[in-house]
């Protein structure tokens, strides 16, 4: 049996729709070994699919098929620390775990770049799966079915304050809310800000983030699904956030702060929300993960 550690991820970062993502130091752990049948369980109270529809198993099976092999079965035990359907990459973590485990069992016939490409084909876009596999701050683009990506480290003093609501938002619902097309002005608006976001997080130039998180492609259309969003945004800026955005398709919201603000956010974020009638949310501060998914025990 091997044990795989997979980081949470936050996609889009506001302006980088379907192209930017960052790995965070909140981890799922998957214990996995080859077996003659399917044996899937959860090590916590989180319910997970226990048949072939389980995304870890399904992804492993997909890699076996890509290699011309048949997967007889797997024993999988999941430790689920990444909240599901909250915009923090829980599905990408499952995909990454299945691919890494299957690749290891077959003798590593696929390179990391091969895994990145296959993960993107499974997920449909690279902004969560690529940082889950590579770690760091990732810029990714698709061309002819192939992912072209660069991972860079996030400045060490940067923290990500994660507001997690007590409700789910399925990605397919959030995607259906988006328009079929955009204007040239919308495209230019987001291109300039996503470029600024990458440079700011890499260099630590926090003063640029208030502008860098702004976008006109997805957040304006998804706000209606996130009850309390306006209050969370306002409170985060009152506490000193440099830039606040919807994580992925939502509903989690992330405030980018530095290490000097970490104690203040941890102490006051939830009480300030509750005083404004926004209840049931969770809050935690995370750092960027620089390693990505990896086998930590064999």
Once rounded to an integer, what is the mean pLDDT over residues 245-271?
97
* Listed residue (99, 139, 88) closest to 122, CA to CA: 99
User: Binning pLDDT at 50, 70 and 90, where does residue 86 land?
Assistant: very high
pLDDT at 155: 98
Quick check: 76 and 61 in contact, CB under 8 A? no
Dihedral angle over CA of 224, 229, 230, 233, nearest 10: -140
Once rounded to an integer, what is the mean pLDDT over residues 200-223?
97
Which residues make beta-bridge pairs with 160?
256, 286
The domain segmentation of the chain, as residue ranges, is: 2-153+289-297, 158-286
Once rounded to an integer, what is the mean pLDDT over residues 253-257?
98
Once rounded to an integer, what is the mean pLDDT over residues 32-50?
96
pLDDT at 33: 97
Once rounded to an integer, what is the mean pLDDT over residues 173-196?
96
pLDDT at 298: 82
Once rounded to an integer, what is the mean pLDDT over residues 92-117?
98
Considering the entire predicted model, what is its pTM? 0.96
What is the C-alpha to C-alpha distance for residues 154 and 291, in angstroms, rounded to an integer? 12
Is 73's pLDDT higher than 90?
Answer: yes
User: Binning pLDDT at 50, 70 and 90, where does residue 12 land?
Assistant: very high
CATH of span 158-286? 3.30.70.890
pLDDT over 90 for what percent of the chain? 98
User: Binning pLDDT at 50, 70 and 90, where does residue 114 land?
Assistant: very high
Quick check: 278 and 163 in contact, CB under 8 A? no
Average pLDDT, the chain: 97
Is 290's pLDDT higher than 90?
Answer: yes
pLDDT at 101: 98
pLDDT at 71: 96
Residues in the chain: 298
Once rounded to an integer, what is the mean pLDDT over residues 138-164?
97
CATH of span 2-153+289-297? 3.30.230.10
Asked whether the domain spanning 158-286 has the same topology as the one spanning 2-153+289-297, the reply is no
pLDDT at 55: 98
pLDDT at 25: 98
Once rounded to an integer, what is the mean pLDDT over residues 200-216?
97
């Amino acid at each position: 049996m091997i044990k795989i550690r997979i980081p949470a991820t936050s996609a889009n970062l506001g302006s980088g729709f379907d192209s930017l993502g960052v790995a965070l130091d909140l981890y799922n752990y998957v214990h996995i070994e080859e077996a003659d049948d399917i044996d899937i369980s959860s090590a916590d109270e989180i319910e997970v699919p226990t048949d072939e529809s389980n995304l870890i198993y399904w992804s492993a099976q997909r890699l076996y098929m890509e290699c011309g092999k048949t997967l007889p079965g797997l024993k999988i035990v999941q430790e689920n620390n990444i909240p599901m359907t909250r915009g923090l990459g829980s599905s990408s973590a499952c995909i990454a775990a299945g691919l890494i485990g299957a690749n290891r069992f077959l003798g590593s016939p696929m390179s990391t770049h091969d895994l990145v490409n296959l993960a993107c084909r499974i997920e449909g876009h690279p902004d969560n799966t690529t940082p889950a596999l590579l770690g760091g701050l990732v810029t990714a683009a698709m061309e002819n079915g192939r992912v072209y990506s660069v991972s860079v480290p996030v400045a060490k003093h940067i923290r990500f304050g994660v507001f997690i609501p007590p409700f789910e938002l399925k990605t397919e619902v959030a995607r259906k809310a988006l328009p079929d097309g955009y204007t040239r002005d919308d495209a230019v608006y987001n291109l300039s800000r996503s470029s600024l976001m990458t440079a700011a997080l890499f260099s630590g130039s926090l003063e640029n983030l208030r502008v860098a998180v702004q976008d006109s492609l997805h957040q304006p259309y998804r706000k209606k699904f996130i009850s309390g969003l306006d209050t969370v945004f306002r409170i985060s800026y009152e506490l000193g956030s440099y830039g606040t955005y919807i994580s992925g398709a939502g509903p989690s919201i992330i405030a980018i702060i530095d290490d000097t603000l970490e104690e203040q956010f941890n102490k006051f974020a939830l009480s300030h929300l509750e005083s404004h009638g926004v209840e049931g949310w969770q809050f935690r501060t995370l750092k960027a993960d620089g390693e990505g998914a990896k086998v930590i025990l064999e």
